[in-house]
């Protein structure tokens, strides 16, 4: 069965079409891996029965010669997307046993295109975190191990850590994520897979449990760039139910993978050469430049002068929006309720019992920066900085077509390693947050391994709505890097 779980979506669609295997067999093979890799805690809720039903439906469609774009492809759904009739938790106690009565737009589009949902993947609570260690359903463990034999459990990155771990461990072929400050790109880099956050507004946020609405954007993880392109096509498009979803045509993303980067201008922002960056990260960044140069691209030095203010800007805007969005959890309409002496007491007790540490901390910060007398000094100030950061990118794209950076300042760290200091944890997102604030598309592709055998990713950023160039360059780097490493546990299973 290993062959079935060791192929790309493009290959699987071809195999299904040629009836080399059935959708049921493909789904069963992935369910088997999902069961065998439960120790990774990548899934909060498994839905094998629904998956098998959907797979049988797919087989009927295939027999009838009526294949849809994702027919029979087993995927994981981040447990932040509401799924009709299937418990949706946001990895928080406060949602209790919330069962949505509706389907999120993105998951609905994927189902309509024939995708088979294997289950709901684990995440940091309300997508707040960079290591998937804030989930009320326990840590996700990366399928990767350091090669020094230490056997320490590593983080899969966050917040979409269940999705990145599942794709990497071969328990699904692709998995959805959401990216607010790097929650797709950083876990993709940590787990040695591809992941894209499209332009803000490309995918509908309707039915995605909100964290920071001006930043949240759905996206996808898969084994390679082409698979991401295939699945993103299905997820994208205008939705009147999300007022910030763009009414723009969705290109055939996979057609953009021409393998040709000749004449493209690739910007290298000098501000991303941060102090104390490991030599291995600098080296892989240089390799990326060399590959592109060999392919005929032109390397251009650029400056994004407000880069160092991106993280503090983000840590005002994101908590402010979080405190406002999470006000809805009041123990009245859904989720956890802890009884109190009166209404206010019930609110306070329910919320204190339902939210974990990181979420509570961000609600406190957000409430403070939005409170009377501080609103202008913090929130408006941050929105002004956000404009400067946004304009940095607009100016840079006068000189270049895409920007190349490392995805994260380190490889995956061990669980617990950065827990003592929230600020230290926030630094993980130093290269991904600026693009989130600007709303531009960004992709991470695996580019090599560090000395301990852990994957390192390169990030490709593009202009607003230009995912096609991002895909083209990412695909070129993927081919040049010839990254074929897989976690030891996947090798063993094969």
Partner 1 sequence: MSIDKEIVRKVAGLARLSLSESDLERFTPQVAGIVKWVEMLGEVNTENVAPLANVVNVDLKLRPDIISDGGYQDKILANAPESMEGFFVVPKVVE
Residues annotated catalytic, as ranges: 78, 159, 183
Specify the residue, 313 or 418, whose C-beta has the smaller distance to partner 1.
313
What is the torsional sign of CA 224, 226, 227, 231?
Answer: positive
The Cα 376–Cα 266 span in angstroms is: 37
CB 332: neighbour CB atoms within 10 A? 12
Write down the least CB distance from residue 360 to partner 1, Å: 6
Sites of contact with partner 1 (CB under 8 A)? 96, 98-99, 101-102, 199-201, 214, 240, 243-246, 306, 309, 312-313, 315-316, 323, 327, 330-337, 339-349, 351-352, 355, 360-361, 363-365, 367-369, 371, 378, 380-388, 390, 422-423, 437-439, 464
Specify the residue, 183 or 313, whose C-beta has the smaller distance to partner 1.
313
In this structure, are residues 302 and 403 in contact, taking their beta carbons and an 8 Å threshold? yes
Specify the residue, 448 or 462, whose C-beta has the smaller distance to partner 1.
462
Write down the least CB distance from residue 378 to partner 1, Å: 7
Specify the residue, 17 or 308, whose C-beta has the smaller distance to partner 1.
308
Write down the least CB distance from residue 352 to partner 1, Å: 4
Please name which of 255, 180, 173, 169 lies closest in space to residue 221, comparing C-alpha atoms: 173
- Helix H segments across 221-278? 225-235
Element (H, E) at 25: helix 23-36
Specify the residue, 388 or 485, whose C-beta has the smaller distance to partner 1.
388
Give φ, ψ of 430 to 5 degrees: -60, -30
Task: Determine if residue 65 is left, alpha or beta; phi over 0 gives left, psi from -120 to 50 gives alpha, anything else beta.
Answer: left
Write down the least CB distance from residue 201 to partner 1, Å: 4
The Cα 195–Cα 220 span in angstroms is: 6
- Helix H segments across 260-309? 279-294
- Provide the 8-state DSSP code for 143: S
The Cα 220–Cα 444 span in angstroms is: 11
What is the torsional sign of CA 364, 365, 368, 370?
Answer: negative
User: Rounded to the nearest 5 degrees, what angle is found at the Cα of 75, between the Cα atoms of 118 and 244?
Assistant: 115
The structure tokens 């609600």 sit at 363
Write down the least CB distance from residue 93 to partner 1, Å: 13
The structure tokens 């301990």 sit at 452
Write down the least CB distance from residue 364 to partner 1, Å: 5
Specify the residue, 262 or 333, whose C-beta has the smaller distance to partner 1.
333
Write down the least CB distance from residue 338 to partner 1, Å: 9
Side by side, the strands of the sheet bearing 265-269 are 43-46, 116-121, 74-78, 174-179, 217-222, 194-197, 442-449, 455-461, 402-406, 265-269, 298-302
Strand-pairing partners, residue 461, are 403, 442
The Cα 280–Cα 299 span in angstroms is: 20
Specify the residue, 68 or 381, whose C-beta has the smaller distance to partner 1.
381
Write down the least CB distance from residue 485 to partner 1, Å: 35
Specify the residue, 69 or 340, whose C-beta has the smaller distance to partner 1.
340
């Amino acid at each position: 069965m290993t062959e079935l779980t060791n192929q790309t979506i493009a290959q699987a669609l071809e195999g299904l079409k040629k009836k080399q295997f059935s959708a049921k067999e493909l789904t069963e093979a992935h369910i088997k891996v999902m069961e065998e890799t439960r120790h990774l805690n990548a899934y909060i809720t498994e839905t094998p029965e629904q998956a098998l039903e959907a797979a049988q439906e797919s087989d009927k469609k295939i027999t009838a010669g009526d294949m849809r774009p994702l027919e029979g492809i087993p995927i994981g759904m981040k447990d932040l997307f509401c799924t009709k009739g299937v418990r949706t938790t946001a990895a928080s106690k406060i949602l209790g046993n919330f069962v949505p009565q509706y389907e999120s737009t993105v998951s609905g589009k994927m189902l309509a295109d024939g995708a088979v949902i294997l289950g709901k993947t684990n995440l940091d609570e309300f997508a707040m975190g960079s290591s998937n260690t804030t989930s009320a359903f326990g840590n996700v463990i990366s399928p990767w191990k350091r090669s020094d034999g230490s056997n320490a459990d590593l983080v899969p990155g966050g917040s979409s850590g269940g999705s990145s771990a599942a794709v990497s461990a071969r328990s699904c072929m692709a998995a959805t994520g959401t990216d607010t400050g790097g929650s797709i790109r950083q876990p993709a880099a940590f787990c040695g897979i591809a992941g894209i956050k499209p332009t803000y507004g490309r995918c509908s946020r309707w039915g995605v449990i909100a964290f920071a609405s001006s930043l949240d954007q759905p996206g996808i993880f898969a084994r390679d760039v082409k698979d991401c392109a295939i699945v993103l096509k299905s997820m994208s498009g205008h939705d009147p139910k999300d007022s910030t979803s763009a009414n723009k045509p969705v290109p055939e993303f996979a057609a953009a993978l021409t393998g040709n980067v000749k004449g493209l201008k690739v910007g290298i922002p000098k501000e991303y050469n941060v102090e104390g960056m490991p030599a291995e990260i600098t080296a892989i960044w240089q390799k990326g430049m060399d590959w592109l140069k060999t392919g005929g691209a032109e390397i251009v030095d650029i400056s994004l002068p407000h880069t160092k203010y991106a993280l503090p800007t983000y840590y005002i805007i994101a908590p402010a929006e979080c405190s406002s969005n999470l006000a809805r959890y009041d123990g009245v309409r859904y989720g956890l309720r802890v009884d109190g002496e009166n209404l206010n007491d019930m609110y306070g007790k329910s919320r204190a019992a339902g939210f974990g540490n990181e979420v509570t901390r961000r609600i406190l910060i957000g409430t403070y920066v939005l409170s009377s007398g501080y609103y202008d000094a913090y929130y408006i100030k941050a929105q002004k900085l956000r404009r400067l950061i946004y304009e940095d990118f607009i100016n840079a794209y006068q000189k270049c077509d895409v920007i190349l950076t490392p995805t994260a300042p380190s490889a995956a760290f061990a669980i617990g390693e950065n827990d003592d200091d929230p600020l230290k944890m926030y630094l993980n997102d130093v290269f991904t947050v600026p693009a989130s604030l600007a709303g531009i598309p960004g992709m991470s592709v695996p580019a090599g391994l560090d000395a301990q055998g852990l994957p390192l990713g390169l990030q490709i950023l593009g202009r607003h709505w230009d995912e096609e160039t991002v895909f083209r360059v990412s695909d070129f780097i993927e081919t040049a890097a010839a990254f074929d490493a897989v976690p030891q546990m996947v090798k063993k299973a094969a």
